[in-house]
Every structure is written in C-alpha cells, then in structure tokens.
Chains A and B, each alone.
Chain A
Amino acid sequence: MAIKVNPGLIEEIKKYGAFDISACFNCGNCTAVCPLSKEKMSFPRKIIRHGQLGMATSVQSSLEPWLCYYCGECSDTCPRQAEPGEYMMSLRRYLIAKYDFTGISKLFYTNKYAEFIAIFIVQLIVLAGWYLLFGLVPNIGVNTTAATLLPPYIIHWYFDVPMAAILTIFIIAFAFNMYYKTMLCDKSVKVPLKLYFTNLWRTAFESASQWRFSDCAGSKTFYSKLLKGDYNYWIMHFILMTSYVSLFVGIVFFLDWFQNVEKYRLLHVVLYDYYANIGLIAGTGYFAFLRIKKNFSRSKFSHVSDWMFVILLFLTAITGISLHFARVDNYSLQAFFYIYLIHMLVAIPMLVVEVPFSKWSHLVYRPMALYFDNLKKSARKLK
C-alpha cells in the first residue's frame, strides 16, 4: 500500500513548537550522531520523515520521542538548522495531547492562555474548599497548635485524596491510551505475557537511574566528563526528579507522617528538609538559568509550559520550606495559616494541571516507553 501523503500533519506538529523541521532534507546526520538511537529504534530522522509525509498512525504509535532525552547533539549537527531535537520535544507534547483524549493537553499546548486559566480555575476551587473548611481568617485560641488549626487528616481527606484520585484516574486512562496506541496497535511484534513480568525490574532500574541519559554526554571517560561538567545536566535532572517524586509520594500518600516530624526524624530531616527542598530549589534555579542563557540547544526553545513547570515548582518548594519552618518553630500560627493557603494554591493546581496534562506527565510516559521498548526488543529477540 502506498503511503498517502498528508502535508497537514507536520503543520499540526509545528503547532507544538517544531517551527523549523520542514527545513529537514533527510540527510540523516542527526540519527548518525544521536547517542541514544539504536539500529532497531533509529531516530530522529525516521520519525521526522514520517511526520513530513503525514503518517499520523505511525507517529502516534512511536516510542522514539520518549527515548530521546534532548541532549541536543542532533540539532547541533543538522546542516539545515532544522532543530531535530526540538522536533522530538514537540512530538512529546504532541503525543501527550494525543494520549489525552479529553483534549485538555492539546488546548494547553496550542493556546497560550489556556494553562493560566486552568490553573486559575483550580485555584478558585481550592480557595473555595479552604474557605468552607477553615474560613479565610485563622481562628486562633490559646490552645491552638498547628495540628489543631489545620489538622493534617482534614487536608488529607479533603485535598490530597481527591486530588490523588483525579490524578490517578486521568493518568491511568492516558497511560492505557498510550499502551493501546504504541503496543496494541503495533502489529509487527507480539509480546508474550511472560515478558511483561520479566522486563519489569529492568525498566524500574533504568528509569530510576536514568542511565540512558548519561549516554548523551559524548564518549570520553566517565571521570574526565564528570570533572568537566559534562554530566551536570543529567545530575541536576536526576536530583530534581528524585526530590520531586519523594515529596509527591510523601505529601500525597503519607501526609500524616510527613507533617509529623518526630516519627523517623532522621529520615525526615535528611530526605525532606535537606535533600528534597534543596534539590527542588537548586534544580529549578539551574534549569531556569539555562533557559535564560539559552546556550544549549536543548534549552534554546522555551515553551510556555516549560516555564510554568519551573516557576510553579520553585514556588511550591519555597512555600513548602517556609511552611515547614513555621510549623517546626511554631513562631506564628497566623503566618502558618496563610503560608499553608498559598502553598495549597500553588501546589494543587500545579499537580492537577501539570501532571496529567503537561510536562510532568513525562514521569509516567518515559518509564512506560522504556518498558515497552524493552518489551518489544525482548519479543523480537525471542523470534
């Protein structure tokens, strides 16, 4: 069957940011230099061509965009300045929008204001809930403590749990959609059930260590690269991601314990007071700095959502720390009340809007893509 060319697709993908990709004349330099492209999973040239020809099914069923970590080597090498790395980034946005059947992600990516409006709406809901539960002025008596003013279990049941439920439903639905598009629709390999289990641990290790990332820094020895700072990007990325995940898990699922410093005090202090908060602040600062400096290919183009991500994360971290100190030192319940409100007004919209519909969904899709890629590879080997 001949491929029916549809020039509309590439125009659609360009809406997600890949403004220059039409300039690609298919020389293949990008694929040759890409440290992550493998024979059976070669990119980015192939998926650029599929995009140019308008092969929507093939593009939507591809895992390649999730295997690219935007090192930018390809963009630096492209003789036509077609910015293939940015194209891969745009494809990730495009795919997020495609896995999301609600159309919300698409709206966020293609409309400049949608994301702000959505955040604002969620903030209104949070504010309304807060008003109903606690009022807008703290009711502080003689015996009031942080725990009685804003009891963790209330916050847990009225804020965290509903939010976690919403997130989980969306994420599971989208993730299944991804599974459907990339695995069920791919008739070229059939993955036996057994492999789904045997590949689990391998993927878990890979995504936790993000070891594929470090392939991206050229080919000198590990230490010389470490000293020269070649790994800085990946190290910061790793710190940011682990800080974020540990906080997320702590807050959403173990809020009681999270706010109760006394239990496992040492772990608490080391993990949350130092590692996670410093990680978040330093990480967001580092990436904001890169985006401003724009001297790496991968930081050259900033989408609204990229900025939103960094800013919200930064605000969450700052208010989170203040909150922590306010509580630990008990210096002002008044301040504690308001900082907590602000914290909720930043953190909840950020999680509701960004996690399933925007950049943070990478956290779900990337490990899944790794997993699926490993599955397909093992299945092919079986054959």
Chain B
Amino acid sequence: MTDKSAEQSRDFYRQDVKVGVYVCHCGGNISDIIDVEDVARDLSDYPGVSVSRNYIFMCSSTGQGLVEEDIRTKGINRVVIAACSPALHELTFRGTLERAGLNPYLYEHVNIREQGSWVHKSNKKAATEKSKKLIRAAVEKICRQNPLEAIRVNAARSIAVIGGGVAGMSAALSLGRQGFNVYLIEKENRLGGKLNSLWKAYPSEEDGEKTLEELEKDISSLNNINIYLESEVKKIDGYVGNFSVEIVKKGSPEKIKVGALVITTGYVHYIPFEGEYAYKTTKKVVTLPDFIEMLKDDEKNGSLKNVKSVAFIHCVGSRQNPSLDKPQKDEKVNDYCSRTCCTSALFRIKQLLEKYPDKKIFDFYRDIRTYGLQHESYYEELSKKGVLFFRYPEDTRPQVEVKGDKLEVKSKDILTWNEEVSVEVDMVVLLTGVMPADISVIVDDLKLPIGSDRFILEAHPKLRPVEVPNLGIYIGGTAQAPMDLLEAAYGGKAAASKASMLLSKGEISLDPFVASVNPELCDGCEKCIGECLYPGAIVMENGKAKVIPALCKGCGACAAVCHTRAINVAGYSLEQIDAMVEAISKE
C-alpha cells in the first residue's frame, strides 16, 4: 500500500486536491450489511483523501454540518458521499457544498445502499469490498473534476398554449393572470373544444356552453393573452427559453418566440367503421356524442319521445383486441380504456330517465368503470330505476342486427352464466371512446415521446407529472390521456404552474453536464451528428462539430463514436472514466 500511494502522490494532478470521504450508515440500512467503519478506515489512506468519516445519517443537519466544517477548517475541496441513491440527495449535498463556499459540482455521490447493502444482504464481506471499490473510483473521478457552472439561458417570458379546450383555456388563464405573455392557439373558430358539445355535463350538470362563456370572459379580460383562432402550428424549433413557433392563422403565416410550450390539443372521438355494430347501416345506431346531441335536441322538441327502448354498448373503440376488432390506420387497435364513457353514458341515461321514466334501458358493459367522486352512484341509481345491465365477456362482442323497424342486440352475458341473451330495442347507443388529436407536426418537431396508445407520454407519472423529458414543454388535458373536464382543467393548470416556475426568473439554469468539442482534435467527420438523438444539439460550424449546450442532454453518444476523442461530456470526461475503470479493476 505504502509503495503504491507514494508512487501515486507524485502525480502532479493531485497536488492540491483534498478529498473528504463520508460513509453513511443510513440508520442501519447500510451499516447492518456493510462494515462502514472498515470502509472509512480503508479510504482514509487512499491517495488524495484527507478526511474519511462515517456517520449515522449524512443527510441530517449534523451530517451535513460535518462536511461544511471539514471544508472550512480542513481545506477539503472535493467531496465524496457514499450513501443512498443520488436521486434522493444529490441536490441536498450540492447545497451543502455551496453553503460552505465550494463549487457544488466538486462532489460525487456513490450509491452503496441500492447498489450495495440492499442487493448483497447475503454476503456482507463482498458488499463491503464492493463499496470500497466504488468509493475509490469516485475519488479518482472527483480528483479529475473541474469546477462546473450551471448553464444559464435567457428565457422569454412568453408561452404558447396549443389547443384551446378546457385544459388549454385553464392553462392560458393561470399564466395570463401571472403576467406572462400567452399565445393561445386553437385550430377551430371558437375556443372550448368539447365544451361546445357536452351540453349539461357531469357531475355538476352545468351546461358546457355556460362554463365556456365564463372561461372566455375571464380570458378576454386579460390583454396579455393573445387568442389565435383558426390557427395551426406549422413548425416548431429552438430549445427551452427560446422556442420559435410558426403559425398559420387563417391562411397567413406568422412566427412567435416563446420560452415554453404547453400542449393541450385534446382528443377526437372514435368513429366506428361501417357495419361495426351495424353503424351507418341504419340511423338507429348512434354514437354517444350523437346521443348527447339528441338529448339536447329533445329538450327543445321532444324528439326522443317515440323511442321506447334503448340499448347501450360499452367500450366501442376502446379496450380493443387485435383478434376481434379492426385496427386504425397505424395497424394498432385502441387497447386502452377511454375512462369517461362509462360515467358519461350512465349520466346521460339518468338524464333520459328523469324526463321519460318509462323508457326501457338495456346496458351491455364489459366493466363499469365509473371512477371519480360520486360517479358510482349513477350506476346504483340506474339499477334501482330498473335499467337492466348485461356483462359481455372480453373475448366476445355484442351483435346488433336490424329486424324490421327494430334492432336486435344479442350478447353473451356473464351475469347469466354466459348464456346468450337478446333484446329488441328502438335505438342502440355505442359508447365510442377517445383518441388523441392528430398532432404529428408538433410531435415530430419536438421529438415528443408517444405511448403505445398514441397519447403523449409523461416523463414520470408521480415524480414529473405533466412534464416530458424535454425541458420547457408541458402537457395537459386529454392530449395526455383520457380524462374528464375537471381533470383536464387540473392538468392545464399544473402545466401552467410548471411553465411559470421555469420562466419566472427570466433565466433558466441547466445542468452543466453537456458535451463539448475540442476543435483542435475534431476532423469534421460528422459521425457525432449522425449519432445524436436531439435535433440541433450538435452542429457543424466551420468544418468542426459544435455543441449547443441548451439542447444537449449529456447522453455521451457523440463522445462514444468520436474516433479522435475530441468530445468530452462535462463531469464524465474520458479521462475520468478511464481513471474510474482503472481504480475498479485494480486488486
């Protein structure tokens, strides 16, 4: 040991480096398996290490105090913390360093809990040895780390909200109220999206038009919200803080600069194929949105008076099965649940029965999914009123046939021990589901991640709701997943508050872990450009590659293909990685 350390201490690079190593017990989570004292002792005479300690909870204020104290009094200028996952406390300890006056990036986090004690419970000795190696590698890495600065980009205090349904209007309204310059872009000639057609909507039974009028009134009272009707997005480029959006408004193009984007483009109704449940072969088979129109109509002229019996069929165009249902253009069936059709249909039946209590209603469901606050009560209430429910098995579909001036609906019924039942009715309502609006231009330009259900995919449903991996882009409402009005409004507002947090300082600081090209080594082969997944992150300038820091994600793909080793990712330089590998492989 002494020989080696003597040799390595001659290394010029480390002359004035003083590393502090802190091994956390995590209250037993780590120390029950790993011999933390042995680890700390072992690291104390590793080259470059000045202080090596172990402590029960490093993240506690006393634990952090130890680090601050060592920085101030012992001249520690590099910190390695061996503890839990960095996802949990990396930011905590960066703050510790900053408070003690040290550059926060001169710190390395080693995960000896998830990657140590928790996965090697049965072999304490090996877990201890593994921890030592990981920490040694971290020490090697941090010794070669330069102070880094967060990347700062200027951000325009303006936001484009694309899609003016209830989600978009809610987002625009809350951003407008916070003083941002908002562009609300809607392709139709009126705001509101589906609010225009829901009539009296559950749960409040308030008329959608009325909700819409109120939202419109509030929006028009703010002159920092610019409404673009009959407008479509043609192209989007740029990056967080500096997006440029090309819009075609009533035929004439226009370009706007915004700091962030909120995407609330909503859904379209599933349209059954001709012949699917006899759709289009008779006018007596209608979709749920058609039926809502009919109810609205009936209020004025009693047009449903002569319809004595109605059958409802659930999950049309939702929860499909490729072997039973016809796919969409992209060859995929809609295998997801559209979530609002169950509640919506039961609510509409309730409306119908309130006016015409004698109508006979037959409901063919697969499951009743009336999620949400009091929505189960619609189901119970309707049962009590005599609505007859049938449950068809998932591997069958009810059949609709025209029989003279009636329709016959036949189905297997789980509730009747899978017997086939048949009813004769005057009308069939198909509970058609929802699909995301076609926004391929936006998706392609922004490289938005799309789920297998074609809706925009959230970065993480719990940790990063309404975000996508790309910074500065937020999603809300039914563009993201089927949901009801209330949830769509929540989604819009959540997206708005994330956008406003981002843009509130007029400047955005980004992690400094991005690539940079050493022009002296770059021979302009352009291999890196072909490898990069993020458009515009690495470009050619005067025959040399150049990285645009605000767009680079620091993935390192370019560095890996560069044959002259011209590219380094800050915090993960080739030299650092070489040193880590060497430290780990050394016996």
Contacts and interface: CB of A to CB of B under 8 A. Distances in A.
- Measured as residues with beta carbon below 8 angstroms from the partner, the interface class of chain B is 10 to 19
B332 to A, nearest CB: 33
Interface in A50-83: 52-53, 80
B423 A5 contact: yes
A24 B385 CA distance: 11
A3 B416 contact: yes
Interface in A226-276: none
B384 A22 contact: yes
Interface string A1-25: 1111101001100000000101111
A362 interface: no
B419 interface: yes
Nearest to B387: A22
A98 interface: no
A49 interface: yes
A26 interface: yes
Nearest to A28: B415
Interface string B359-403: 010100000000000000001100111101100000000000000
Given A22-B384, A23-B383, A23-B384, A7 B360 contact: yes
A80 B383 contact: yes
Nearest to B416: A49
A25 B416 contact: no
A53 B360 contact: no
Given A2-B410, A22-B383, A7 B422 contact: no
Given A22-B384, A24-B383, A25-B383, A49 B422 contact: no
A25 B363 CA distance: 12
B422 A5 contact: yes
B420 interface: yes
B421 interface: yes
B389 A10 contact: no
Nearest to A50: B416
Interface residues of A, number: 18
Nearest to A10: B386
B419 A5 contact: no
Contacts of A10: 386
B384 A53 contact: no
A380 B415 CA distance: 26
A271 to B, nearest CB: 50
Chain B CB count within 10 A is highest, among A1, A2, A52, for A2
Contacts of B383: 22-25, 80
A368 B233 CA distance: 80
A377 B422 CA distance: 31
Contacts of B389: 25-26
Contact of B415 (A11, A20, A26): A26
Nearest to B311: A5
Instruction: Report which residue of B389, B410, B415, B420 has the largest number of chain A beta carbons within 10 angstroms of its beta carbon.
Output: B415
Given A24-B383, A53-B421, A5 B415 contact: no
A5 to B, nearest CB: 5
A2 B386 contact: no
A48 to B, nearest CB: 10
Nearest to A5: B423
Nearest to B420: A2
A4 B360 CA distance: 14
B233 to A, nearest CB: 47
A3 B415 contact: no
A3 B385 contact: no
B380 A2 contact: no
A47 B312 CA distance: 24
Contacts of A1: 420
B360 A22 contact: no
Contact of A49 (B362, B380, B385, B415): B415
Contacts of A2: 410, 419-422
B421 A52 contact: no
A3 B410 CA distance: 9
Contacts of A26: 389, 415
B412 to A, nearest CB: 9
Contacts of A23: 380, 383-384
A20 B389 CA distance: 16
Contacts of A53: 388, 416, 421
Contacts of B388: 5, 7, 52-53
Contacts of B423: 4-5
A305 B379 CA distance: 34
B244 to A, nearest CB: 56
B422 A4 contact: yes
B375 to A, nearest CB: 15
A5 B421 contact: yes
Contacts of A49: 415-416
Contacts of A20: 384
Contacts of B386: 7, 10-11, 22
A53 B420 CA distance: 11
Interface string B414-436: 01100111110000000000000
Contacts of A22: 383-386
Nearest to A26: B415
Nearest to B383: A23
Nearest to A11: B386
B372 to A, nearest CB: 18
Contacts of B422: 2-5
A248 B4 CA distance: 114
A53 B423 CA distance: 10
A26 B389 CA distance: 9
Contacts of B416: 3, 49, 53
Contacts of A4: 421-423
A52 B415 CA distance: 11
Interface string A23-53: 1111000000000000000000000010011
A23 to B, nearest CB: 5
B421 A3 contact: yes
B362 to A, nearest CB: 7
Contact of B362 (A3, A5, A25, A80): A5
Contacts of A11: 386
Contacts of B385: 22
B94 to A, nearest CB: 54
Contacts of A7: 360, 386, 388
A24 B380 CA distance: 9
Interface in A350-379: none
A25 B386 CA distance: 11
Contacts of A3: 416, 419-422
Interface string B286-312: 000000000000000000000000000
Contacts of A25: 379-380, 383, 389
Nearest to B411: A2
Interface string A126-164: 000000000000000000000000000000000000000
A24 B415 CA distance: 11
A52 B385 CA distance: 12
Interface in A161-203: none
B252 to A, nearest CB: 57
B508 to A, nearest CB: 54
Contacts of B362: 5
A10 B420 CA distance: 19
Contacts of A52: 388
A24 B423 CA distance: 20
Interface string A76-100: 0000100000000000000000000
A25 B385 CA distance: 12
B370 to A, nearest CB: 12
Contacts of A5: 362, 388, 421-423
6 contacts: A1-B420, A3-B422, A7-B388, A20-B384, A22-B385, A24-B383
Interface of A: 1-5, 7, 10-11, 20, 22-26, 49, 52-53, 80
Q: Can you list the 5 inter-chain pairs with the closest CB atoms, starting with the nearest?
A: A2-B422, A2-B420, A26-B415, A5-B423, A23-B384
Given A10-B386, A26-B389, 10 more contacts: A2-B410, A2-B420, A4-B422, A7-B388, A22-B385, A24-B383, A25-B389, A26-B415, A53-B416, A80-B380
